[in-house]
Amino acid sequence: MFSFPIQILPADLMAEAAALNEKLAKGVSNLTNLTDDDIDIGSTPKDVIFEQDGIKVYHYHPLVEPSKIMKTPLMIMPPLINGYEVADLQPDRSLVRNLLNQGIDVYLNDWGYPRQVDKFRTLDDYINGYFDDTVDFIRKYHGVDKIALLGICQGGAMSTTYATLNPDKISHLVLTVSPIDFDAYKANHKPHEGLMFTMGGEADVEKMVAVHGNVPATVLNESFMMASPFILNYGKYADVIDILDDRLALQNFLRMEKWLFGGPDAVGQMFKEFIRDYLKGNKLVKGTLEVGGRKVDLKELTIPILNIFAEKDHIVPPPCTVALGKYVGSKDYTEFAIATGHIGIYTGGLSQKVLAPKVASWMRERGA
């Protein structure tokens, strides 16, 4: 008598269906009762100490005794095209909190949400204007000549540019999954690696800005999700069924969704210039980048550098990050790899254990 290799008994099928119905019912209850306040992101206590044209600078409350706080403050520079909350997504997965617990005095630059009138802002406006104003304010506010920078993704490319032009104001440079050489991924890469760079290189950015002014966050999000379409568009939502009855796990899932889909539009002119000069032109490593008439020569970047990358990053593949070491003039250059992905470097379980301690020990060893 023929029998199937997998036996599905009616009683088992009914039990599984009942369990699924119970899970879905609990999930509907959780979703109904959760409010926006329950899905809080960026919740670490802080003060707004400086504000200019919708851009805010936060100073976070210390979490250790004053005697344990480093004398050199650290400013986190997020990307322009994502919310700063990726560095402070939830209490138990927060780069900001982890740095504070290591005794680092943390500031953060929140680029905010641009208005249509802001579409004319240039790379020069951001690097030599807003970025420089923020650094100068923190230096004066904190009473120091130099501060340390920690750049996140695009914010890392901007931080590298700024630090190269202003060695008298920056003492240490920490980079996390930061694109430096936008062509480095092209040798022996898998099809999904660097896909956003490939798409960006082929995009008609002039037309996008002409139509929209500021490029809508929805357009940027679709580009991001197309880098891994099945996982980001379908897979994660199928998987959420497994956590519907777990209120805490559901909150954490929704925090990530809130951050991902709540980001700012990209400032039109700045977006055009960044795509043209950094991504398409790769001018930062070619030595042909100019900002406000000033040439950016990475050989003049001689301060200590800690370059942190994610081994599984398909958004900014590791070769695009670690290429920096070939171009800078610094004699104190360190690379640190974490076995995670582009976002996981801030929110993943492993990163909570190793990222902030590495930054803190590296800074202390260099007199911070």
The residues annotated as belonging to the active site are 153
CA–CA separation, 343 vs 313, rounded Å? 8
At residue 321, the 3 state secondary structure works out as helix
What is the DSSP track for 2-48?
---SS---HHHHHHHHHHHHHHHHHHHHHHHH--GGGG--S-S-EEE
Work out the angle between the directed axes of helices 217-226 and 247-261 (0-180°, nearest 10): 120
What is the DSSP track for 99-165?
HHHTT--EEEEE-----GGGGG--HHIIIIIIIHHHHHHHHHHHT-S-EEEEEETHHHHHHHHHHHH
CA distances from 170 to 118, 179, 234, 305 (A): 28, 20, 43, 11
In the block, tokens 């943390």 appear at: 106
Q: How many CA atoms lie within 13 A of 256 on its CB side?
A: 15
Residue partners of 198: CB distance under 8 A and separation at least 6: none
Phi, psi dihedral angles at 170 (to 5 degrees): -120, 130
CA–CA separation, 252 vs 254, rounded Å? 5
Q: What is the DSSP letter of 84?
A: G
Q: Two tokens at 361? A: 């020990």
User: In degrees, to the nearest 5, what angle opens at C-alpha 277 toward C-alphas 129 and 216?
Assistant: 75
In the block, tokens 């995670």 appear at: 340
